[in-house]
A and B are shown apart, each in its own frame.
Chain A
């Protein structure tokens, strides 16, 4: 008797989402990036197809992030200029696309105006030709202005805009539909809310084929396992036929990792933990690698050493 076939038989396909628009599509990008389209779990290519490899989005911002000097030094002086940071990320760090976080708009920080943010987005788009992900500063009220201005400035570029939550999804849908962008749907480490936001988006007529899910991201050691299981469960539900969960996923690894002590405290504070110069990027790489295994399609990363490691892992394993 032949050995029974114990391969998992998935019935559904994860949506394929393309970010960026080249000239013929009304944009100015030199290339587009497509994620999703899988019919199997990550790495298990013997059970289905993985037509698009996961991608690395380079983290950039319109203000210098509150990260230790050791980490900022790894990136270089360019962190002070979003345009130069963007160029270096593309040319030297070899990222597939860019993710700009407009933290400079934070009313409690630099409080950059919506117009200033839009100008930064335009400048970045002119300086590099990879697709762009645009995030607000995290303050809903300010972000409604900031994202509106940025979406208009990037009109036709098919950017990925972050993020639509239960509290603001109508605004985000309106500005994305008007300016031809795609949406990141966000939930606060809660798979039920994650599904609910997708229902809300679909109910007001937004096509879920143009949405990427963000379950929020936790750094290794700080709720990582919660997010890992959510991402994995969402992916399994999607592959089993839950159309509301069959969406690609994004993880903001760089934005989270350099907030936890293991990745930011130097050896003076943590004797025996090894040099921060190495430990910081290692923490980021390990965290990103694990999210790729959970079902992340886009990982946002900051440190060039971590980016290089993850690129190699993706090239070898996917």
Chain B
């Protein structure tokens, strides 16, 4: 399972303040916490705190000063990505693009040039997809484009667009159905990722909802997730779900082995 640590995001107050005050320590600290919790990638997002590519580059450098983990660059502006990708020590994931042709034509050449990966959101100019069919249609458009630009399927992370359970309860089944269908675009398949915490927006039992939905998506083929990597019960549930899917070989101490 590819675990993308979500915490270095200007949506969090401490990160926003760290960006404003050029406080590298807070960013380094979160990078270290997430690396220790065994993240596979560290997501870096400057949100509305800055529009300057140099800020994002600085954040990436802070993360890379404390961990060798690759970066998930949480930005979709071509001019910013052009500066941020070369700063990354390892090929990053670009987070993200939609299925809009103009956007794909702008971002995919940059991704291809640097051997990076990209998250493709299964939504287009019409906005969020109302059902599984529209998700698959949008994902198909993205898939076609990456082939056109010579990006291998393993560099694509398709995202079925997770919507809050509390407000869009009927969408959960559509998300799972779309996830199951994304697997069949190619062999070997591309990755399937989601921004997990969207499912529990506004809900009371956030962690439980995240955990259960994540395992249900894994059962449908999800193999990457943007998550709170410090949520141990969530990570343990993911490790267990991977055993059910026969993705990992069972051993009595499989939980302890992941942490050590």
Residues of B within 8 A of A193 (CB): 251
Contact with A along B238-258 (1 / 0, CB 8 A): 000000000011111100110
Residues of A within 8 A of B248 (CB): 237, 242
A195-B250 in contact (CB<8A): yes
Tell me the complex Cα distance, A242–B251, Å: 12
Closest A residue, CB atoms, query B188: A9
Tell me the complex Cα distance, A127–B109, Å: 65
B260-A237 in contact (CB<8A): no
A9 with B251: in contact, given A199-B256, A203-B256, A203-B260 (CB under 8 Å)?
A: no
Tell me the complex Cα distance, A203–B256, Å: 9
Residues of A within 8 A of B257 (CB): 195, 199, 202, 244
B251-A195 in contact (CB<8A): yes
Tell me the complex Cα distance, A81–B253, Å: 44
Q: How many of B's residues come within 8 Å of A, CB to CB?
A: 11
Say yes or no for B36: interface residue by CB 8 A criterion: no
For the complex formed, measure the closest distance between the CB of B248 and the CB atoms of chain A, giving whole angstroms.
7
Closest A residue, CB atoms, query B253: A199
Within 8 A of A (CB), among B183-240: 188
Tell me the complex Cα distance, A225–B256, Å: 31
Select A242's contact among B154, B249, B256, beta carbons within 8 Å: B249
Contact with B along A236-257 (1 / 0, CB 8 A): 0100001011000000000000
Residues of B within 8 A of A244 (CB): 251, 257
Select A199's contact among B154, B188, B251, beta carbons within 8 Å: B251
A192 with B251: in contact, given A9-B154, A9-B188 (CB under 8 Å)?
A: yes
Residues of A within 8 A of B260 (CB): 199, 202-203
Closest B residue, CB atoms, query A238: B249
B154-A237 in contact (CB<8A): no
Q: List 25 A-B residue pairs with CB atoms under 8 Å apart, sorted by A's residue number.
A: A9-B154, A9-B188, A191-B249, A192-B249, A192-B252, A193-B251, A195-B251, A195-B257, A196-B251, A196-B252, A198-B251, A199-B251, A199-B256, A199-B257, A199-B260, A202-B257, A203-B253, A203-B260, A233-B249, A234-B249, A237-B248, A237-B249, A242-B248, A244-B251, A244-B257
Additional 20 contacts, C-beta under 8 A, given A195-B251, A196-B251, A203-B260: A9-B154, A9-B188, A191-B249, A192-B249, A192-B250, A192-B251, A193-B251, A196-B253, A199-B251, A199-B257, A199-B260, A200-B253, A202-B260, A203-B256, A233-B249, A234-B249, A237-B248, A237-B249, A244-B257, A245-B249
